[in-house]
């Protein structure tokens, strides 16, 4: 799907991704003021595959994306990285602050 600033893929099922996000937000409140956390409970987890740094027509991108088959594609998360995200030079940039290994 074409979003406001890029191309995103929806995730399904959402329960696991929402649960992971909730855990991350709880942990973040130990080191950051909860009022400064971006987003709210209405956030739908997604996977961003492309960003745009300029205005343009999204119609052609959306048309081509709709040609792709809607196949399940499993994604396994084995680590979680905390990053400091910024967009000071008209593009997203980040610095890794920490990492947590995930798994059974």
- The tens place of each residue's pLDDT in the chain, 104 residues long, gives 888 778 888 888 888 888 888 888 888 888 888 887 776 667 778 888 888 777 777 888 888 888 888 888 888 878 888 888 888 887 788 999 888 888 76
pLDDT at residue number 95: 93
pLDDT at residue number 32: 80
C-beta of residue 67 within 8 angstroms of C-beta of residue 82: no
pLDDT at residue number 96: 92
Residues facing residue 95 across a β-bridge? 84
Kindly report the number of other CB atoms within 10 A of residue 104's CB atom: 2
What tokens does 25 get? 């937000």
The model scores a pTM over 0.85: no
C-beta of residue 90 within 8 angstroms of C-beta of residue 53: yes
pLDDT at residue number 104: 61
Q: Give, in order, the Cα–Cα distances in Å from 64 to each of 7, 46, 48, 91, 97.
A: 12, 19, 17, 24, 36
CA quadruple 8, 92, 21, 83: dihedral sign: positive
Where are the alpha helices (H) located in 11-101, listed in sequence order?
Answer: 14-28, 59-66
Query: Residue 87: CB partners within 8 Å, gap ≥ 6?
Result: 93
């Amino acid at each position: 799907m074409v979003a406001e600033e890029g191309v995103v893929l929806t995730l399904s099922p959402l329960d696991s991704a929402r649960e992971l996000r909730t855990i991350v937000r709880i942990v973040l409140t130990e080191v950051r003021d909860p009022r400064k956390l971006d987003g709210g409970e209405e956030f739908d987890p997604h996977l961003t595959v492309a960003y745009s740094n300029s205005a343009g027509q999204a119609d052609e991108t959306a048309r081509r994306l709709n040609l792709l088959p809607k196949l399940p594609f499993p994604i396994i998360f084995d680590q979680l990285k905390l990053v400091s995200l910024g967009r000071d030079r008209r593009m997203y940039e980040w610095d890794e602050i920490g990492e947590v290994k995930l798994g059974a």
